């Protein structure tokens, strides 16, 4: 009986860990979804500028924004934010 309880306890801990990771990922996704391209680039620079060169952050930003655009996760800029020459 004690072995069964031990296995159930381990299973409960594993389930709690998986649920915690899923909730964390969901929160991170929600924090980034819907941001406009300039907001995304600013957030990437804020997080990565002290870890790598600015050029590399721009390269990563291009890839991240391209993929987020494919998935429909990038927010649209308001009409007054769009440059006149665009």
Whether the CB-CB separation of 73 and 32 falls below 8 Å is answered with yes
Sorted by where each begins, the domain ranges of the chain are: 1-32, 34-77
Q: Which residue's entry shows tokens 């721009």?
A: 58
Q: What are the structure tokens assigned to 9, written together?
A: 């306890």
Backbone angles phi, psi at 83, to 5 degrees: -60, 150
pLDDT in tens, the chain (86 residues): 788 999 999 999 999 999 999 999 999 999 999 999 999 999 999 999 899 998 999 999 999 999 999 988 888 875 555 555 54
Q: Write down how long the chain is.
A: 86
Q: Which residue's entry shows tokens 């649209």?
A: 76
Handedness of CA 22, 24, 28, 31 (dihedral sign): positive
């Amino acid at each position: 009986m004690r072995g069964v309880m031990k296995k159930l306890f381990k299973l409960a801990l594993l389930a709690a860990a998986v649920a915690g990771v899923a909730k964390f990922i969901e929160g991170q996704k929600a924090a980034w979804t819907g941001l406009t391209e300039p907001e995304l680039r600013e957030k990437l620079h804020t997080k990565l500028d002290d870890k790598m060169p600015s050029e590399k952050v721009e390269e990563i930003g291009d890839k991240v924004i391209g993929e987020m655009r494919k998935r429909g996760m990038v927010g649209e800029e308001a009409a007054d934010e769009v440059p006149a020459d665009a």
